Amino acid sequence: MHTEEYIKERRRESLKDSFKKRRGKLEIIIDILSVAMKEAKKTEIVYKANLNFKRVGKYLPYLEEKGLIENIGSEYKTTEKGKQFLRDYQKMQEQLK
């Protein structure tokens, strides 16, 4: 294999690896709910859940609509339903180990 072909192949493999490491919707939801267990402002959720404001701006209304998170003034808090969702997720993770 020529050097150029080798470099292209390595780039392709590295891109595949980075896509494998990307979080899915469920992992993002889990991260947001975890951060909001104690009241958290949107900025705190952005930084601690490693998201950007645009993405958080889409997820928070969705999670509110599903009853997993509630907006209390300028802060968000995971609801009882959200806490149960986290517990169920943790149980599933343990079953898969």
What does the pLDDT look like over 53-77, one tens digit per residue? 999 999 999 999 999 999 999 999 9
Instruction: List, in order of start, the domains of the chain with CATH numbers.
Output: 24-96 (1.10.10.10)
- Supply the DSSP string of 18-68, one letter for each residue: HHHHS--HHHHHHHHHHHTTS-EEHHHHHHHTT--HHHHHHHHHHHHHTTS
- The reported pTM is 0.78
- Among candidate residues 72, 96, 82, 92, the one with its CA nearest the CA of residue 31: 82
Tell me how crowded residue 30 is: count the other CB atoms within 10 A of its CB.
18
Residue 97 pLDDT:
81
Grade residue 4 by pLDDT with cuts at 50, 70 and 90: low
